[in-house]
Structure 1
């Protein structure tokens, strides 16, 4: 029996069994809002009736007493009694408090519809938190705050939002470009903030990891390599979060002012502090036993590789016993240190957010509004302090012993001659150097909104957002390294040979255990690269109820509603660096920008209401036209939606969307900016040239080309030149690079087009009041999908497909000669292999979403609220070309399956609340389905061929996590929360070569699994 599918059935059965609970539950109004409350009808005089499953028209905090705002996700039309035609998942403030979330990332990672991310566990992170719906990429997910854009796509950071400030989060999955514009291809995430607050409130929580380190498969391997692997209970990784919120209403409520300040701090957890990550686990070949991935360059004894002479390319380390002699590199204490020992399992960071909201009624039906949010986030990535590079050593260096000098210099030992070596020396495990990320930003909104008569509302406003990042890496100054290695004098009184740098510190690279901090200070530079992204967004939106003018179906009570809008946006991205950064790491300054003008219309038309066999029949439509400065064409997006409820208990819904995404400014530059390189990151040879073999006497012989004649013919090569030595890509005398020419850019990147379909069913049985269940089928297909592809996309694809023109077009030969090398100075139009951002074929996502909510009345002892959210993914992947098979990565990882999407995942929460609401207990079950290495998929399209089948470490079993939250309303002004996430301290599953799978060195998939252990939290809310 497939355990994953069995649990899926159990979970679904459990949610459906809510229907069969005896008796009609009495409706209760929990405080704060829960999904069950959203399910219940609001009083007859309420302005909004919430749709339980979608929460599409759930009421956020009103912005004014005169102009109650309806926060609607997925539509510009604001009207009561609306049922969404597209599935929307909502996370309430109660849910957020129950998990003691410090980052917005923590909130969203629990939703099956969101591809989880874990920037706090990536040592390579830049500190910014971004959202990916359906694993289709953050560029395809539009993020809003109260219905307006968060900021630029490239500079997006949802960490600007403190979780304690959230009223709820709405997640609409599926295309929404016709309503919101480009980027809403995978869907929309709308953060609804608490703004209408009066008084003073303090929210705070502190959480930490309480984990019992038990031996894992990594433990004995780490110890055998001379590394530590901890045992026993540990309490670490503390995270503190405090928010102070204040608000005041003045002039009889006409002026409303709110402000907040939020501070959060995160302590580091190192890889060496968990038993599952004592060393980086790898399989050196298919089905090989696990081993610690030893990195020669991490040796604290120093790794020396002579480049010439009899010992050329031999790897030596200085004997760790203190003698000045070389021994061969190999595993064991002293010879190799743990390169990743001080990598962060949880990155240290410190963030401050502050902001305010103000609104003023300037007339009975007109309101001025403004808001501002500012943040500053500082975080670090630690990397080993390794002095590395090719240097020339003087053969009479006083630090060299006789045997060492002979090994490097041969007969020239003891003379003033020099010999090249490749040096990799880790200057102590405690001297790792930080890369610092300082992210700052501001988001300002403002405008005027109101009503005109009874039929029309308007909102004229805009957003200014600015994200700024200072990246300050540490790197070795190559000139200083050479200066420090060229040493004269004596071993007891060494001197640098250079006469131009008085600060030079001699480097004893030929003894083990050098930790000279003065040398580190001399060798390492810190330069800063600065990137600033800005968004200017101006919108004018008008909504009208045409029923006030009699535009109503004869069979409906509500009239036709309409929304009209126009929008102008400007995106800019500026990148600069100081002279130190440029001298050490290169690069050029850039300034990128893009403008867009858009106009849209949206219509809701109830056709039949409250008739026999038709409680509601409604159609919706939307259309948007867009013009981007980066593209000569105008493009359009649209939606058509339908809702049919034969009775009030049962609603069918369907939505069809055409969504488009224009390339971001970074993608435009990657597509259009022409850059040439010889050999790319290594030597690239023409696969139609002959293979070359050099014999012991220096003679050269030619063999058959790697590619077939048919493949080479598809690249435009004549049969007469197939296998000709003239095709061999030569070296470039001016740069020293070898290999074929790679051209990046010089191509047009057109908008990608997505077609989204959703079909759903909502059940609200009147015989079980408060119960709502929904199931929705989604199908997303993206044509001309935008993405960055390096040269291997074309060369490998051309070979694998046996000459498919879709791939082979990226190999552009010189006419006549058929060669693939050209001088970059002439900006050639032929003679290169292409790479860069481009439109490739299709991306595909398909599956089902399930949601259920129920409030069970327990009469005098309280009530229990149930909520269920599950997702079944049936397809996640794409198709590389018209003649290639579709790649379905649902449930698989590896071989290009980077989505890491299990076929099934869900969350099921039950919350008990006493009658007086003085106590509540919430228990949550999070389930993550299995993942299997694509080699074992049995699908050749993703590499599942018999010869690649693995026999070990190819499967990650389903994982269940349980959370408990206790809330005590001790007094009207004071509440206390005690929370345990991953209550049973489940150890994460082992995944070898995890960096290739999840971009993490943690031996697991931290974005999918609770990798640091049990998390305990205490939180409080104090009101004044």
Structure 2
């Protein structure tokens, strides 16, 4: 290696070290272009410098680290870093999502996915979910990645909106020569969660050495994991919180089985009698949801149909290249296309007569040509028990039926993401550099959902009689027909709701209503930067960077007409359309004050078509009193403009879970404020009069709906972050690097949806009528719904009182020659001192530090040993003990931190061996000790439906194995 290359490599690696980043030697050797760079640019700064020292903490994940993890999904590896919080969307927590199934997102500091900016080579990437800024990590080719740089703390002054919590920058390899084949297969110890991955990556340089082009073609397929295949989630259960509220430990004593009261054979209220069908499909009086098995005596085991991990299949093509037009100017391009298909699956729809009729009653008698006809198919016993409950002179009944005959619910989502970047970069004149680029990105998401029904058609099909009068004029008088002539002209088929497998193919086809969703996100960016040295001071040159960016974002999401109107028995979700553009200018300066002390600062001015002008800035110092010790401090103001969903989303129906009705247990004689506020509602008062205290049944608990709304009046949120840290590389311990950083991030006017539980508590405990207006209770009993139970709780996006977090990061990196090989280790630890939300200005803080998903202590430890052709890696991830949400606990009268879960440690192992210089085989075990996730049962805040745990924080799958090969030529 010549002297120049040695110096350049030393500069590059030293810069990385002082930024809190660690490169592995093999990464540098595999990427010769790193050795050629004399001036480098690190995440968080646009200034190119041979002394690129960051004032912000930066952690790095090398391409070699990715290979040694064996992950197919990059999200799984990133989440081992304690700086990341539980993701809003992952393969194991999005089965019930209407738009995000199969996505992989990241969330720095538990401040929200929308406050973590994801970049590729320092440039924005199009989102994977309509209306949001959520980038799907699945579309970034891992084989192209040289390293991943994670900067924590505000970075909006350099990169613009969304970088309030920090930046995740995927730095791609600059060039590649040769061809590489990769293959891998794995599955869980239970025989599911099968995964396969195959890819080919190739690159070549031009004959004159001025250009290089790289290609990648990859395929991956991750199989599903179903709730029925794990003992903890195979049978419906409910945390025993409503049965023994004086005993906190009862939360973890499951009421199991706790089957749904919507059975596939149906239940029917006729007069004062409730009917159902037994296992032999024989009508019987009485109904119970107790029992065991897939379907209980009367109830229904939903867990038999739910999914823990969503099957996801991906095809990925990527290309990247550059060509030197001259010694000073280079053309470059990047392009990716990803096609993803994911399948969600959940239990058949729970359908009832109050989904069809306003009064919840199905007529079973009809006056036709002055003759009283009874409903087709209704059994004599139910008909004879039926009475006129709505005063129209005709008998009616109530029914509830799980639509197993129609099929499971779920959707198949086909998501296509296309992105390309074209640009020029080079040197304008001595030590002044430029780059200019145009980026276009588009994501299309098309979904087809099944298991839903056309409510209007179902009504037509229900209102059917035996055609003794030959109403339809076909000469047949012993057939069932639909009464409505218009419906008959559209092939209405009478439907039989009584008993197992009662709905025939014709009726099923008539009432079925597959739902369609079409969404797209388009991003267009034009940007440019210049950087160089302005003038020289006694301590060195003053450097600067400046640039601009113009960005357009457009998004739309549209369901079919039935879904938008809520007439297919699903959520009522109207179409969402929105767009905005923003023009931004920034300037960044680095000023050497002393040889050992420099100042960095940046300012960015943005003009949004939605919120108008915003301003971001940062200011920081680096002080290096001795070669082995450096101190850094930075303060930044970052802004985040509201995204399209937050601004433009019309009322969209949701079915929230985990809510606690403050009125439960209120009695007629209760004179405190809570009791009086609850009893003021006529429905609650009627419930108390009937039951002695306000009482809810299972259907009431699970039957809460509400609408989520955007807010076009939103303004930007402003985050202020302060980071103080040190980097220590002691000369007396060669190979040891230590970084220690304190961070404090506070967000004013944070853009959030007001929590529904907060509104309930404010309305009834505090008597705040402003929040009561968002709450609707059922006025009278209707079928299985008790009077006064919650029917709707709406919420809207607003600029809240704020959000913040505070903590300490510690990173230790140590490597040395040990015996015949090389030992390496890396420890990352985060101590979360504080984390809080203020739901609305003036409200008390809701502390979340130390709660599930935000443990106070989190760490990851990587150990590795390499000798000759053998390499071994051991990764440990520690998630500290945590308590349940204190606001949720308070709803039951429990003290904060009175109920919690213990710490978890996951162990992942991998071994690899080079058969030849070009061919490597590897194998590994994830969750080697098969840790069961902590029990967070249905009904407890933080439980992901179908998993009986927090599947975004803990591993809900268990031990998995994989084998693979890698061949380079």
The equivalent residue for 1:481 is: 458
Aligned equivalent of 2:598, options 604, 614, 618: 618
2:202 and 2:364 map into 1 onto residues whose CA distance is 69
Distance in 1 between residues matched to 2:338 and 2:322, nearest whole Å: 22
- Rounded to whole Å, the distance in 2 between the matches of 1:369 and 1:187 is 27
Match of 1:321 in 2: 280
Question: Structure 1 residue 504: deviation in Å?
Answer: 4.2
Q: Which residue of 1 aligns with 2:701?
A: none
Flag the 1:257–1:746 CA change in 2: closer, same or farther, 3 A.
closer
1:926 to 877, 884, 889: 877
Contact 2:268 2:398 in 1 (8 A): yes
* Compared CA separation, residues 784 and 119, structure 1 to 2 (3 A): same
Give 3-state SS (helix, strand or coil) of 2:456's partner: helix
**TM-score (ref. length: structure 2):** 0.82
- Where does residue 481 of structure 2 map in the other structure? 496
Q: Which runs of 5+ in 1 are unaligned?
A: 1-39, 211-233, 610-615, 694-701, 713-721, 729-740, 814-831, 894-899, 936-940
Q: Find 2:115's aligned residue among 129, 140, 144.
A: 140
Does the aligned pair in 2 maintain the 1:466–1:534 contact within 8 Å? Answer: yes
**Counterpart Cα distance in 2 of 1:1018 and 1:170:** 28
Equivalent residue, structure 2, for 1:34: none
Alpha-carbon separation, structure 1, partners of 2:681 and 2:11: 81
Name 1:737's counterpart in structure 2: none
Report how far residue 442 of structure 1 moved.
Answer: 0.8
Distance 1:453 1:676, change over 3 A: closer
- Mapped partners of 1:856, 1:911: distance in 2: 11
C-alpha distance after superposition, 1:977-997 (max 9, x if no partner): 111111111222211226731
Q: Name the residue aligned to 2:400.
A: 423
Any residues of structure 2 matched to 1:1008-1019 within 5 Å, and which? 1008-1019=953-964
Give runs of aligned pairs for residues 233-244 of structure 1, distance below 5 A: 234-244=190-200
Equivalence for 2:559: 577
Q: Corresponding residue for 2:698? A: none
The 5-angstrom pairing of residues 277-292 of structure 1 reads 277-284=233-240, 285=242, 286=245, 287=247, 288=250, 289-292=253-256
Structure 2 alignment gaps of length 5 or more? 357-361, 366-373, 469-476, 686-705, 775-791
CA distance in 2, matches of 1:782, 1:864: 42
Q: Distance in 1 between matches of 2:288 and 2:389?
A: 24
Q: Which residue of 1 aligns with 2:864?
A: 911
Q: Aligned equivalents of 2:857 and 2:332: distance in 1? A: 43
C-alpha contact 1:466 1:533 (8 A) present in aligned 2: yes
Q: Is 2:401 aligned against 1:401?
A: no
Question: 1-side partners of 2:708 and 2:519: how far apart?
Answer: 25
Change (3 A) 1:150 1:68: farther
Compare 741-750 and 117-126 and name the one that shifted more.
Answer: 741-750
Write the deviation string for residues 787-814 of structure 1: whole angstroms up to 9, x where unpaired: 12278756743665676xxxx777899x
Shift of 1:393: 4.7
Using the alignment, how far apart are the partners of 1:473 and 1:575 within structure 2? 15
Aligned residue number for residue 894 of structure 2:
948
Q: Is the 8 A contact 1:53 1:89 kept in 2?
A: no
Shift of 1:906: 0.6
The reply on whether 1:51 has 2:4 as its aligned counterpart is no
Aligned with 2:104: secondary structure? coil
Equivalent of 2:522 in 525, 534, 540: 534
Partner deviation per Cα, 1:669-710 (whole Å, 9 max, x = no partner): 25xx7x799x9999xxxx9xxx999xxxxxxxx99996899x
Shift of 1:365: 1.0
TM-score, scaled relative to structure 1: 0.77
* Equivalent in 221, 226, 247 of residue 265 of structure 1: 221
Distance 1:169 1:161, change over 3 A: same
Mapped partners of 2:219, 2:15: distance in 1 = 34
CA distances 1:141-197 after superposition (whole Å, capped 9, x unpaired): 111011000124445322211333322211111000111011100000001123511
Give the match for residue 562 of structure 1.
Answer: 544
Cα distance, 1:338 vs structure 2 = 1.0
1:971 lines up with 2:916 in the alignment:
yes
Quickly say closer, same or farther: Cα 1:778–1:335, change in 2 above 3 A. Answer: same
**Alpha-carbon distance in 2 for matches of 1:456, 1:598:** 22
Task: Give me the whole-angstrom Cα distance separating, in 2, the residues matched to 1:268 and 1:47.
Answer: 43
User: How many Å apart are 1:460 and its aligned residue?
Assistant: 0.7
Q: How has the CA–CA distance of structure 1 residues 89 and 629 changed in structure 2, closer, same or farther, with 3 Å as cutoff?
A: same
- Report the CA distance shift for 1:88/1:680 in structure 2 as closer, same or farther (over 3 A): closer
Structure 2 partner of 1:465: 441
Structure 2 equivalent of residue 958 of structure 1:
903
Contact 1:887 1:942 (8 Å CA) reproduced: no
Q: Aligned pair 1:890/2:849, yes or no? A: yes
Q: SS where residue 52 of structure 1 aligns? A: helix
Decide which moves more: 440-449 or 871-880.
871-880
Change (3 A) 1:387 1:504: farther
Offset of residue 420 of structure 1: 4.3
Aligned equivalent of 1:90: 60
- SS of equivalent residue, structure 1 residue 119: coil
Q: Structure 2 CA distance, aligned partners of 1:41 and 1:643?
A: 26
The change in CA–CA distance for 1:495 and 1:281 in structure 2 (over 3 A counts) is same
- Rate the CA distance shift 1:651–1:446 in 2: closer, same or farther, 3 A: same
Distance 1:591 1:882 in 2: 29
Matches of 2:709 and 2:10, distance apart in 1? 62
Aligned to 2:937: 992
Change (3 A) 1:955 1:643: same
3-state secondary structure, aligned to 1:403: helix
Q: Partners in 2 of 1:775 and 1:1007 — Cα distance?
A: 27
* 1:535-557 Cα shifts (integer Å, max 9, x gaps): 111111000023xxxx2331x3x
Offset of 1:310 from its aligned partner? 3.9
The corresponding residue for 1:120 is 91
Question: 2:263 is matched with which residue: 299, 307, 332?
Answer: 299
Tell me: CA distance 1:902–1:676, structure 2 relative to 1, closer, same or farther (3 Å): closer
Deviation, 1:750, is 1.2
State the aligned residue count. 863
